[in-house]
Amino acid sequence: MLRQIEGSRAVAETVALCRPEVVCAYPISPQTHIIEAVGAMVKAGTLTPCEFINVESEFAAMSVAIGASATGARAYTATASQGLLFMMEAVYNAAGLGLPIVMTLANRAIGAPINIWNDHSDAMAVRDSGWIQLFAETNQEAADLHVQAFRLAEELSVPVMVCMDGFILTHAVEGVDILDQAFVDSFLPPYEPRQVLDTADPVSIGAMVGPEAFEEVRYLAHLRQLDALERIPALAMEFAQATGRDSGGLLRNYRTEDADVIIVALGSVLGTIKDAVDIRREAGERVGVVGITSFRPFPGDAVRAALSGASRVVIVEKAFSIGFGGVLSTDVAMALQGMSVGLRTVVAGLGGRSITRRSLEGVIDAAVRDELANLTFLDLDHDAVNRERSRMAATRRSGPSAENLLRDRDHVTSHTAKGPA
């Protein structure tokens, strides 16, 4: 049923429709509303049978999910930012053990400086952990992806992370069509574990594996992710046939036919980019967008096919590798090997900085004129950076840069403040 609800609520209700048997989580902004809502459903008895386990940390949350999944239970958790980092060791273990846990990642920046707002640094930090990572563009897609995620995870015995932009999606109230239980039950069969801890039929899970077999174990995990490259579009198609909704899949093109410049991005910023593209199209610029839903596994062939007609590709990223540049850009560059396509990286929206349509139009304009630098930081205040560099050059004990920049900003705004005196 189509309802006007908060993104977190839509995800919580959809997760409940997936009949998780164990939910264990530790609250952290901006994931909190999801877990509160699931917990309330367990307490009220509307999500049953399900055990909601209050854990003392994110490390415990993932550890409990691992234990629950290994005993054959459908397990779910959610986190963000430092919470994900705190559970990092267990995140790798879940994937290494091949346990099909589903986790929502309400994308948030990583400190220091501490920052609760949205970017993709957290997802990128676990890029190589072996989890499948799917990025939602809208709350509708975030909700729908969870149903596909459980099916995909359990088919392949690989954990799946559904990434949704913190606050921008989790706290947005918009129309979401919540699936009905009958459909979810038909799409998502009961969990049939490939391995299960059972006292009646004992096995060991998590043995020490030396050089004699470790590489093979890792390679098998890689093959399962390659299998996912087939299964993700197949599940999206099956889902679309039943619901009429284009949720999931590897990637989606928007106005890329005849496009000279193509923007590539992940997550909710795609909406604003599409609006910018429509406006630049009206101005006669041949520009399109590719939104990547499946970041891991990375759909290299599909990306190559989608971008093959462009002369320039601009990757707009809410994360970057300090001392290098784009993260997604590196993957796109590998996919485009041997092709003469100009690649440009735009780092944007770090720590929740607004990515405006107007700024994106500027990026598109510059790309069309081939005036975009290889690496651009969108709306960066170069003057503030230069002032801090000057302070650092002027005195050894220049102090903490984060605090200096805040003070600098207060000073500037107090001298340019508008409004009634």
By the criterion CB under 8 A, which residues form the site for another protein? 4, 6, 116-118, 165, 167-168, 171-175, 268-269, 271-272, 274-275, 352, 354-357, 417-421
Considering beta carbons, is residue 105 or 168 the nearer one to another protein? Answer: 168
Q: Is 158 helix (H, G, I), strand (E, B) or coil?
A: coil
Considering beta carbons, is residue 284 or 420 the nearer one to another protein? Answer: 420
- Specify whether the CB–CB gap between 141 and 172 falls below 8 A: no
In whole angstroms, give the CA distance from residue 269 to residue 420: 34
Considering beta carbons, is residue 159 or 291 the nearer one to another protein? Answer: 291
Give 377's Cβ-side CA count (13 Å radius): 13
Q: Which residues of 253-283 are buried (b: 16+ CB within 10 A; e: fewer)?
A: bbbbeebebbbbbbbbbbebbbebbebbeee
- Nearest distance, CB of residue 226 and another protein, angstroms: 32
- How do beta strands 251-254 and 375-377 pair? unpaired
What is the identity of the amino acid at 44?
A
- Nearest distance, CB of residue 1 and another protein, angstroms: 12
- Nearest distance, CB of residue 27 and another protein, angstroms: 14
- Nearest distance, CB of residue 419 and another protein, angstroms: 5
- Nearest distance, CB of residue 51 and another protein, angstroms: 29
DSSP state for residue 188 in the 8-state scheme: S
**How many Cβ atoms from other residues are within 10 Å of residue 165's Cβ?**
31
Report residue 212 as tokens: 């004699």
In whole angstroms, give the CA distance from residue 285 to residue 289: 13
- Specify whether the CB–CB gap between 150 and 108 falls below 8 A: no
**What share of residues in the chain are helix, strand, coil (percent, to 5)?**
45, 20, 40
In whole angstroms, give the CA distance from residue 143 to residue 10: 6
Considering beta carbons, is residue 49 or 175 the nearer one to another protein? Answer: 175
Considering beta carbons, is residue 63 or 272 the nearer one to another protein? Answer: 272
Considering beta carbons, is residue 177 or 227 the nearer one to another protein? Answer: 177
- Nearest distance, CB of residue 243 and another protein, angstroms: 17
Conformation bin of residue 204: beta by default, left when phi > 0, alpha when psi is -120 to 50: beta
Report residue 111 as tokens: 């400190």
In whole angstroms, give the CA distance from residue 382 to residue 371: 18
- Nearest distance, CB of residue 130 and another protein, angstroms: 30
- Nearest distance, CB of residue 231 and another protein, angstroms: 28
Considering beta carbons, is residue 44 or 182 the nearer one to another protein? Answer: 44
In whole angstroms, give the CA distance from residue 277 to residue 113: 33
Considering beta carbons, is residue 116 or 341 the nearer one to another protein? Answer: 116
Judge if the upstream peptide bond of residue 27 is cis by omega within 30 degrees of 0. Answer: no
- Nearest distance, CB of residue 354 and another protein, angstroms: 5
- Nearest distance, CB of residue 360 and another protein, angstroms: 9
Considering beta carbons, is residue 326 or 352 the nearer one to another protein? Answer: 352
- Nearest distance, CB of residue 266 and another protein, angstroms: 13
Considering beta carbons, is residue 93 or 359 the nearer one to another protein? Answer: 359
Report residue 256 as tokens: 């890329």
DSSP state for residue 200 in the 8-state scheme: T
Q: How far is CA 166 from the centre of its chain?
A: 10
Q: What are phi and psi of 224, to 5 degrees?
A: -65, -35
Length of the chain as a residue count: 421
Considering beta carbons, is residue 154 or 361 the nearer one to another protein? Answer: 361
Nearest to 360 by CA among 282, 267, 246, 265: 265
